[in-house]
Amino acid sequence: MSTLPQMPKSWRLESKPHKFCPGCGHGLVLKALGEAIDELGIQDKVAFGCDIGCSLLAWDFFNVDTVQTHHGRTTPVMTGVKRANPDVICIAYMGDGGGYAIGSQHLVNAAARNEKITAILVNNCNYAMTGGQMAPTTLPGMKTETTPYGRDVEQSGYPTQGPEMVAAITRDGAYVARGTIANLKQLKSYLKKALENQLAGNGFSFVEALASCPTNWRTNAKDTWAFVEQEMPKYFKVGELKNPAEKGDE
Amino acid sequence: MSEKPIQGEKRVFMTGNEVVAWAALAAKADIMYGYPITPQNEIMHYWTRMAPKFGRKFLQTEDELSAGFTTLGGVLSGRKAFTATAGPGNTLMQEPLSMAEMMRIPSVVVIQQRGGPSTATVIYSQQEVTMTTFGGNGEGFRIVYSTSTHQELFDYTIKAFNTAWKYRFPTFVLADGYQAKMRESLKIYDPEEKGVKLIQPEATIGKPAVNGVKEPVHVRNTYNTEEELFEVLTGYMEDYQKCAPEVTEYQEFDCDDADIVVVSHGVVARAAKVAVQELRQEGLKAGFFRPVTLRPFPADQLRSVADKTKTLLFVESAFGQMAKLAKESIFGSTVNVETLYKPGVGITSEEIVAKVKGVL
Ligand SMILES: Cc1ncc(C[n+]2csc(CCOP(=O)(O)OP(=O)(O)O)c2C)c(N)n1
Ligand code: SF4
Ligand SMILES: [Mg+2]
């Protein structure tokens, strides 16, 4: 594997090469996350919760305590861990279906309660694990298995703007950002700040990552990157929405 | 902060929900996660008043899915965590509890049954037996205690934590709206002073490094192959069958020469007990059988009763949910079966006496 030399220390060697499809965004998000964990030196204190979705494939991805949960339920499981043992650095890792559809009540309420956990949501514009159905984040006009003629906003509404929603309902102490696998350095810095925000005990931290799913998009490498770099950011603005570490936030 | 919630033993007169809160404190429960639903609410109300005085915690969640899953998180981090619910909340609770079954997470859930299906009544029923014993997409790898008195609510809530952590199967205390809301006298006590050993919880995740070395754990509920799953579940079934004889509890009296044995559980068993005693005083040969654990069910014990009596009378505030478990356990028996089913409605000893007399 060409990525072998740069493998983050917190990655688990025995489970590599990982199980995601070639060109999948999950692997890149988890690489950025692994590096963030390494740089903060928190590997021994992290508990990583993964959702059901393609994120379930990450159940043995890191050399950190890991719990695989149910579709949409990673946020409450990690909330439960954090409330019971605040020394654990809790990461809830999920897809856009898990976070914005079936588990949206958990995301909204964890944010509203300012739970001191870090939620990371992979936005790949579809339900990937189940074969490419429409997700809350499917772009208008985008074809999926359940929108074969393209997402009709009259019928299905507009894509969920997750970080915007979380930013709107959180108060002081929350960290909210949207990164992309097209800019891994920036994504890593967001993930790091989200973890630092938890370490500082400030409040809820949320990072959405724009990510590729070439398998369900049925795109080649070139079109995959074009979609991630050009199409997705048109609707999903990349950047920090809330950062308690910065004075004059908002 | 660190003093014991109960010193020695005390006679008290309180509601069942208050009893559960005291029992959880006495069992050294660390944290409760909960969502309001009648008739369970006062467990949270008492817990939130008392828990902070003893350094215990509470989280009010957004729904019962969350209450269940946060409870699992609490247990995974090595704390004695519990939740309580009823009716439609119990329905939602089945999803997290199926994860607890799969991952052997020793969670404790108190159920105060209310009328069903749907929202039905907030009052009372015994209609959550099927769901509590075999709910979720699983095999019923659970332990379910059906309590009958406030004393039992106290004793079995304490026991539920020990059972869950000892065998690592999710454990339920199944009571009902009558037990929740009724006031009754009982003795509350510090279990350790009575020689009841409280099992120490153990963390799955978040365990500190030993000698500077952290061994990460990876726990999952998803398997890749049929064989892999089959192997896991076969092991679970072996564990379950092995612990079943130790866990199974029941009560019986006057069965040896009985022409008819009344089979009931929970609060209905109190009426059945009085009914059988009255019938005996009148010279009628009635007997009493009560499963205390509905899962595992005291199958062998009921079978031997079925083998020596003529009729089993199943009495419950449901359309035969306990009876389904009972009938399965006596499969093949030629005993005559009679029923007195009143779903969502209380049953008096007079009704049972009248029914028995009608049958005999
Ligand atoms: C309660 C429940 N409903 C449905 C499913 C089926 N399911 C598994 S993964 C998934 C979609 C995952 O999509 P997303 O959360 O976007 O993650 P992705 O695979 O795209 O990374 C669904 C619907 C399930 N596992 N559990
Ligand atoms: S289906 Fe899509 S999201 Fe899932 S592993 Fe493959 S590329 Fe990644
Ligand atoms: Mg997705």
What is the tens place of the pLDDT at every residue in B258-286? Answer: 999 999 999 999 999 999 999 999 999 99
Indicate yes or no: CB of B219 within 8 angstroms of CB of A66.
Answer: yes
Q: Is the peptide bond before A163 cis (omega within 30 degrees of 0)?
A: no
At position A214, the amino acid (one-letter code) is P
Q: What three-state secondary structure class fits A119? A: strand
A41/A27 Cα distance (integer angstroms): 21
> Per-residue confidence at A247, pLDDT binned at 50, 70, 90?
low
What is the DSSP code string of A6-57? Answer: G--TTB-GGG-S-SSPTT-HHHHHHHHHHHHHHHHT-GGGEEEEE-SSGGGG
Residue pLDDT, tens place only, A137-196: 999 999 999 999 999 999 999 999 999 999 999 999 999 999 999 999 999 999 999 999
The residue whose CA has the least distance to atom 2 of ligand 2 is A213
All residues of chain A having their beta carbon less than 8 Å from the beta carbon of residue B81 are 80, 84
Beta-sheet strands, E only, within A124-172:
126-127, 133-134
Judging by beta carbons within 10 Å of its beta carbon (0-12, 13-18, 19+), is residue A233 exposed, middle or buried? middle
Contacts A–B by Cβ distance under 8 A = 125
In order of their start, the domains of chain B are 9-192 (3.40.50.970), 251-359 (3.40.50.920)
Confidence (pLDDT) at A177: 98
Confidence (pLDDT) at A248: 52
Report chain A's mean pLDDT, rounded to a whole number: 96
Confidence (pLDDT) at B3: 81
Confidence (pLDDT) at A240: 98
Residue ranges in chain B modelled with pLDDT below 70: 1-2
Determine the distance separating the centroid of ligand 3 and the alpha carbon of B222, expressed in angstroms.
Answer: 18
A74/A106 Cα distance (integer angstroms): 9
Instruction: Give the residue numbers in A contacting B (CB under 8 Å), as ranges.
Output: 12, 43-45, 47, 52, 56, 59-60, 62-70, 73, 76-85, 87-88, 105-106, 108-109
Nearest chain A residue to B58, by CA: A83
Instruction: Name B123's Cβ contacts closer than 8 Å, sequence gap at least 6.
Output: B39, B114, B115, B177, B344
All residues of chain B having their beta carbon less than 8 Å from the beta carbon of residue A106 are 62, 65-66, 69
Within 6 A (CB) of ligand 1 lie A 52-55, 71, 95-98, 122, 124, 126-130, 135
Give whole-number Cα distances, B234 to B13, B102, B226, B240, B310, in Å: 46, 12, 12, 10, 37
Indicate yes or no: CB of A62 within 8 angstroms of CB of B216.
Answer: yes
List the structure tokens of A135: 């997700």
> Per-residue confidence at A16, pLDDT binned at 50, 70, 90?
very high
The residue whose CA has the least distance to atom 3 of ligand 1 is A71
B85/B127 Cα distance (integer angstroms): 14
Indicate yes or no: CB of A84 within 8 angstroms of CB of B30.
Answer: yes
Indicate yes or no: CB of A68 within 8 angstroms of CB of B222.
Answer: yes
The topology under which CATH files domain A16-242 is Rossmann fold (3.40.50)
Confidence (pLDDT) at A249: 46
Nearest to A13, CA basis, from A83, A79, A62: A62
For residue B62, give the nearest of A65, A69, A105 by CB distance.
Answer: A105
Q: Is the peptide bond before B39 cis (omega within 30 degrees of 0)?
A: yes
Please give the model's pTM, rounded to 2 decimal places.
Answer: 0.97
Q: Nearest 5°: CA angle at B110, between B100 and B24? A: 100
Confidence (pLDDT) at A6: 78
ipTM score over 0.90, yes or no:
yes
Confidence (pLDDT) at A246: 85
Q: Where are the domains of chain A?
A: 16-242
